[in-house]
Amino acid sequence: MKKILSLCFLCLSLAASAQDSVNTEEKKEAPKQKFTRAVFNATKIINMQSTEIVNPGILQFMISHHFSHIWNKDGGKQNIAQFFGLNSGVAHTYLSFDYSPAKFMNAGVAMAGSSKYEGWLKFRILRQQTGKKNVPVTVGWYSMMNVNTAEDPDNEFSGNKFAFLNQLLISKKFNDKISVQLMPTWIHFNVVPYGINNSNEVFSMGLAAKYKATSKLNITVEYARQLNMYKNLITKSGTIMNYNPDLLSLGVEISTGTHLFQFYVGNTTDASAIDQLARNTSALKDGNIAFGFTINRSMNLKK
């Protein structure tokens, strides 16, 4: 009897061991979820927002300068004297602070120059990932409010001082080198501009890309096309305004470990994305190229 019981116990032990081995193999074979990181290296690519959101508890400070045009066709020797726009005395500055209270959300405020202020929220809706669940792209949403506090006797009603920008951000990291992003944009002005076929709404479509040249150097490019409200706009004085619908920028990013420096050239001197995408007066065909840079610094407030 003891031999039979011993044999049964041995069989049960072997069966349990075999089952554990099967379970272990199944666990090993189960795909691990892997999230794509560093689609872009900053929350802004050049002028436009990226799908990146800094980690929770991080306060980020960014300062951007957009200088005057590198070369003015009627400037003559003054182009040299002004050191190609860097020493012209004209620099539109953008100072911003933003904070991430959660992994999926970013909130920020900014001084956008010319007595303008901005506040925004950015959400990450989907994140590119592989494994048991495959998501091919990262999707985000960016909503920003702009208020012009400058005194304007023709615009005394406070509600007319506001404008709003909304962007759907869709990015994809193809490999360690190349990332791209699509940016359909909707801008709303509380005041309807004067002109033919006027509207409160301005729409544009943007495309951006990053190429990782080295571990510390990236090359970036942005292009946006304004789709409406750039022809035959009329001011109250009767002046006809035609804005340039094409916005193109090329830049490089240099990481030092504690700071990220972004240097770029493009056909805008404006600091705010609303002015860049809806009221750009710099034309590529006229050689209206300007230099700019952004310094990015992050601080951990949870330490």
Reported confidence tier of residue 264, pLDDT bands at 50, 70, 90? very high
In the predicted model, is pLDDT for residue 269 greater than 70?
Answer: yes
User: What's residue 29's pLDDT?
Assistant: 61
The model's pLDDT over 84-133, given as tens digits with 9 standing for 90+, comes to 567 666 788 999 999 999 999 999 999 998 889 999 999 999 999 999 89
Domains and CATH numbers, the chain: 32-300 (2.40.160.40)
Say how far residue 226 (Cα) sits from the centre of its chain: 17
The model's pLDDT over 10-37, given as tens digits with 9 standing for 90+, comes to 444 544 555 555 455 445 566 788 999 9
Backbone angles phi, psi at 81, to 5 degrees: -60, -35
DSSP state of 44: B
- Range with the poorest average pLDDT among 44-48, 234-238, 263-267: 234-238
Question: Three-state SS for 259?
Answer: strand
DSSP state of 239: -
pTM for the model: 0.85
The model's pLDDT over 270-299, given as tens digits with 9 standing for 90+, comes to 999 999 999 999 998 888 899 999 999 988
Residue 58 buriedness (CB in 10 A; 0-12 / 13-18 / 19+):
middle
Mean pLDDT of the chain: 86
Closest CA to 301 of 108, 106, 100, 10: 100
User: What's residue 196's pLDDT?
Assistant: 72
**Residue type for 257, please?**
G
Backbone angles phi, psi at 229, to 5 degrees: 60, 50
Which pair of structure tokens corresponds to residue 241?
Answer: 């305004």
Strands (E), the chain: 34-35, 58-69, 91-102, 105-113, 116-126, 129-130, 138-148, 162-173, 178-189, 201-212, 217-226, 233-234, 240-241, 246-255, 259-266, 290-300
In the predicted model, is pLDDT for residue 206 greater than 60?
Answer: yes
Residue 200 to residue 227: CA distance in whole angstroms: 13
Residue 191 to residue 235: CA distance in whole angstroms: 12
Reported confidence tier of residue 165, pLDDT bands at 50, 70, 90? very high
Residue 175 to residue 212: CA distance in whole angstroms: 10
Closest CA to 122 of 93, 94, 99: 99
Reported confidence tier of residue 244, pLDDT bands at 50, 70, 90? very high
